């Protein structure tokens, strides 16, 4: 069971029920649960969307798209049914925040999904969890069944005539790419997780051809909290254009790794040195991957920056999924870069050539390099490959592989060069014989 951590700088808005047994529906109700949705039934769609816009909530799945705006794109009239799709595929390395939500507060996801339905006119929602999260799926399934039993889901919810909402839970079966929203819809339709071309966007043509809202599980879990807290008040907790709080997962070589709820804009250096207790064993910091493995790396002198979408973009990286991975001086960047690419190569769905071939060549070149067979041209080749993948793939998985690679080459070129001259860590972790030519 994941260990819960705590720090005085945390502002517990979405994590306030963690560790209090709120997977139990009665406990959830006792802790203000299912109040927000009833208020939303009273107030109606325009009010809900206005609150969401005022909250400044931006998608927690990685891209940071404003949630209120996303919901407002759903057409009022639609010949086909509309749907809410909750993305709990959570597979970006370094990310485990949805895990804790499903474990400790599954009803917040159910309540948030229902509110999204009320706001957009959707009558059905899906909560999709990655296949590995079976024990969490069971928790969510039980929560959904309990909500049905209380009349919070189904027909005439909360006793309101004509207000219907159904929720179906779904399991994946192992695929990172399925976290990409259009591939997620394909997977939910029982297909290979291959992305769809956009436009049309899911808000117009989504699941089963109907208008669809796709939101990350944390985004959705924030919704009832925002309604209770008040949109404007929630916005004020965060930084400019970045409303509220977010669950940051700090992992790697820190004294107190864990999930912390911090205001948007919180200083990254403080998050590492104060909230997470600093670098393990008092060693020196080498680098930080700030928002899941697809985000370009930051150097120790670049971490005095606010954790929000805009400030991170200005720092040349991304806030991404909020998974902060901390590397100390003992980590070999060549090895870390190879492990990162090995993942994206494995997870590329193979649909488009720049991603399929690009990730494969990156992996092959980096593997040879790591094995001691590299030369100076390889460094230029790695950069060339990554630059040519950027913006040229069918979905952003190609970018997710290219961006960190370019970051490693740009900021640690000296280490790649030194590697060629024999400056390597003694211990090799990755077994490359299993890498070369290995399929799945």
Partner 1 sequence: MAAITNSIFKPETAARFDHLASIYPMKRSALIPMLLYAQDEIGYVSDAVVAEIAERLDLLELDVRNVLSYYSMLRTKPAGKYNVQVCTNISCMITGGYDILDHCKKKLGIGHKGVTPDGLFSLEEVECIGACCWAPAMQVNYDFHENLTTVKVDQILEDYAAGRGKDVK
Ligand X SMILES: Cc1cc2nc3c(=O)[nH]c(=O)nc-3n(C[C@H](O)[C@H](O)[C@H](O)COP(=O)(O)O)c2cc1C
Note the residues at the interface with ligand X (CB under 6 A).
59-63, 65, 87, 89-92, 176-177, 179-181, 214-216, 219, 395-397, 400
Note whether 95 binds partner 1 by CB under 8 A: yes
407 scored as a contact of partner 1 (CB under 8 A): no
Q: In the complex, what is the shortest distance from the CB of residue 310 to partner 1, in angstroms, rounded to a whole number? A: 25
Contact by Cβ (8 Å): 185, 212: yes
Stretch that binds partner 1, among 45-53, 85-93, 113-121, 198-206 (CB under 8 A): 85-93
Q: Which of 336, 361, 369, 412 binds partner 1 (CB under 8 A)?
A: 336
Which of 138, 155, 410, 413 binds partner 1 (CB under 8 A)? It is 138
Identified binder of partner 1 from the candidate list 16, 53, 58, 99, rule CB under 8 A: 99
* 400: partner contacted, choices partner 1, ligand X, none (Cβ within 5-8 A by kind): ligand X
Quote the least distance from Cβ 161 to ligand X, whole Å: 31
251 binds partner 1 (CB under 8 A): yes
3-state DSSP assignment of residue 1: coil
Q: Which is nearer to ligand X, 178 or 276 (CB)?
A: 178
State which residue, 182 or 239, has the beta carbon closest to ligand X: 182
- The helix/strand/coil state of 203 is coil
181-200 footprint of partner 1 as x/- string (CB under 8 A): ------xxxxxxx-------
Q: Name which of residues 102 to 131 contact partner 1 (CB under 8 A).
A: 124, 130-131
Q: Under the criterion CB under 8 A, does residue 155 sit at the interface with partner 1? A: no
Size of the site for partner 1 (CB under 8 A): 64
Among 9, 132, 141, 387, binds partner 1 (CB under 8 A): 132
| Binding of residue 176 to partner 1 (CB under 8 A) | yes
Site residues for partner 1 per CB under 8 A? 1-3, 81, 90-96, 98-99, 124, 130-135, 138, 168, 170-176, 187-193, 208, 249-253, 257-259, 289, 293, 323, 325, 327-328, 331, 335-336, 339-340, 343, 346-347, 349, 429-430, 434, 440
């Amino acid at each position: 069971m994941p260990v819960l951590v705590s720090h005085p700088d945390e502002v517990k808005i979405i994590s306030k029920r963690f560790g209090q047994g709120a997977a139990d529906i009665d406990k959830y109700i006792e802790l203000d649960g299912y109040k927000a949705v009833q208020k939303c039934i009273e107030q109606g769609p325009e009010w809900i969307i206005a609150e969401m816009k005022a909250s400044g909530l931006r998608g927690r799945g990685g891209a940071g798209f404003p949630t209120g705006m996303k919901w407002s794109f759903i057409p009022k009239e639609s010949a086909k049914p509309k749907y809410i799709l909750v993305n709990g595929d959570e597979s970006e390395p370094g990310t485990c925040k949805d895990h804790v939500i499903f474990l400790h507060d599954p009803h917040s996801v159910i309540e948030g999904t229902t509110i999204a339905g009320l706001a957009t006119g959707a009558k059905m929602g899906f909560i999709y969890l990655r296949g590995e999260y079976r024990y969490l799926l069971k928790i969510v399934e039980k929560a959904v069944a309990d909500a049905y039993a209380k009349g919070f889901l189904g027909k005439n919810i909360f006793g309101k005539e004509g207000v219907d909402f159904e929720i179906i839970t779904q399991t994946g079966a192992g695929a990172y790419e399925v976290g990409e929203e259009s591939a997620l819809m394909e997977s939910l339709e029982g297909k290979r997780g291959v992305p769809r071309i956009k436009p049309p966007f899911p808000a117009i043509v989504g699941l089963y051809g109907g208008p669809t809202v796709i939101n990350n599980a944390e985004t959705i879990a924030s919704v009832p909290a925002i309604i209770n807290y008040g949109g404007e008040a929630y916005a004020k907790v965060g930084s400019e254009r970045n409303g509220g709080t977010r669950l940051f997962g700090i992992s790697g070589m820190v004294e107190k790794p864990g999930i912390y709820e911090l205001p948007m804009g919180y200083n990254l250096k403080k998050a590492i040195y104060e909230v997470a207790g600093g670098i393990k064993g008092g060693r020196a910091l080498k680098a930080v991957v700030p928002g899941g493995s697809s985000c370009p790396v930051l150097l120790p002198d670049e971490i005095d920056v606010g954790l929000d979408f805009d400030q991170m973009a200005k720092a040349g990286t991304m806030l991404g999924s909020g998974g902060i991975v901390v590397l100390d001086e003992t980590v070999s960047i060549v090895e870390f870069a190879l492990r990162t690419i090995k993942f994206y190569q494995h997870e590329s769905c193979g649909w488009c050539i720049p991603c399929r071939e690009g990730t494969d060549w990156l992996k092959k070149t980096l593997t040879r390099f790591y094995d001691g067979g590299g030369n100076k041209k390889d460094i230029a080749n790695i950069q060339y490959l990554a630059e040519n993948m950027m913006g040229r793939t069918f979905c952003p998985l190609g970018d997710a592989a290219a961006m960190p690679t370019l970051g490693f080459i740009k900021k640690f070129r000296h280490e790649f060069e030194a590697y060629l001259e024999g400056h390597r860590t003694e211990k090799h972790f990755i077994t490359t014989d299993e890498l070369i030519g290995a399929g799945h």
